[in-house]
Every structure is written in structure tokens, then in C-alpha cells.
Amino acid sequence: MAEAFDTAEAVAAALGHEFEREELLIEALTHRSLSAEEPGEVSNERLEFLGDAVLGLVVATELHTRWDLTEGEMSMVRASVVNEATLAGIAASLGVGGALRLGKGEDASGGRDKPQILADALEALIGAVYLDSGFKKVRRIVLEHWSGAIADRAESPGERDYKTRLQEVLAQSGSTPEYAVVGSGPDHERTFKATVVVDGNVVGTGGGTSKKRAQQVAARRALEALGDDA
């Protein structure tokens, strides 16, 4: 248990929060499969429910405050940055998988890498931070980890989001895309080339007049190569 708690503390540190109520941290990382095997353990389902609401509120407030978007556009942006694929990717980057408290069966079946379990645990962590330190602190943490995705989608809410679609497709197999972008040319005519790498293999390349546009083109071509009709 001590080793598991050390791992949990590492996740909290990566998230950017030191818990005063350490039991909230443990609960947030406890999957229902462990609760089923050990009835005394409380699963993270209630914290996940709370965290989902808190995350949605922070993102909606940021969109309303900083961006001149219609209701429909705000809905599209929010949906694209709080979906399972995005949550699972952030959770994986924080090391959540290694800190999960799973039942033996779920652990043996690869539960630490399942996108839904990772996404649910991250929402539970957000709920735990909210209960531990309040809205101001949880807002800071959410924006620290989501601001890039929010800005990316809010700048072009009507465009097809191939990056998110690619992330969703790859999440089904436990993979995540990595992007490398190189710029060239003078500042007034700068162009960019993006490369998408998955599990060490290049699956798509694309160019554009901005880093974001080049990444979107590369993601679209990666989807085509993978046989997705998005």
C-alpha cells in the first residue's frame, strides 16, 4: 500500500496539487473492480460524476469569458476537449495508469491502459481536487492542462477536428499520436510541415501556414491511411 500511495502522490504532483485530505486522492484512483473484490474500498464513481461537472463548468466559463463564440460553437469546443480520448491522453501523461487501484481481473486484462478507465479516473481526480481545495484551485489546474486544447479548438470551432478524431480512433487500441512540426521560410511567408507518429511509425504528414493547420492536415492523412472515413 505504501508503494501504491507513493505512486498516487506522484500523480498528484504531476497534476499540480498536494492533497490535504489524502483519502480523496486514494478514492479518485480506486476503480469499481477493486470495490467489487474488496467491499470496504470506495470506488471513484461518485468523484467522477462530480469531476465531470466541474470540468465542464471550468471549460464553459473559459469559453464564455475569453472567446466570442456562439452557443453552438461553445458546445462543439467543449465536447471536443472533454471527450474520452482527450481525457485519457492527459491521464496517461500524468501517469494515472500506474497509480490506479484495480481489481485483479481488471488489472490482468490491461485496465491500466483502457481509455475509459483513465478518463474516468482523471475526472475523479478533478472532483477530488475540487472537494479538497475549492473551485479556484481546480480551475487553475484544469486550465494548466486543457488551455492548449481549448485555444486550438476555439480558434476554428467550425473546422473538422481531425486531431481529435485521430486521437479517438487510436485510443481504441491504447495508442496516442505524437506530432512534430518544422517551420521554414521568412517570417512573413512562413510555412509548416507536421508529422504524426504512432508507436514509432509515421502515419501522416501535412503542411500549412500555421502549426495547427499543418497538424490538422497531417491528422486527416493519418486517418485516411488508417482507413477511417472522417
Which positions are catalytic?
Answer: 52, 123
- Nearest to residue 27, comparing CAs of 105, 142, 123? 123
Please say whether the beta carbons of 68 and 163 come within 8 A: no
Q: DSSP letter at 160?
A: -
Under 8 Å CB-to-CB from 185, ≥6 apart: which residues?
Answer: 191
Grid coordinates of 39: 467491499
- Nearest to residue 195, comparing CAs of 207, 187, 186? 207
Given phi > 0 = left and psi -120 to 50 = alpha, else beta, which region is 227?
Answer: left
Distance of CA 94 to the CA centre of its chain: 10
Grid coordinates of 77: 469546443
Distance of CA 136 to the CA centre of its chain: 20
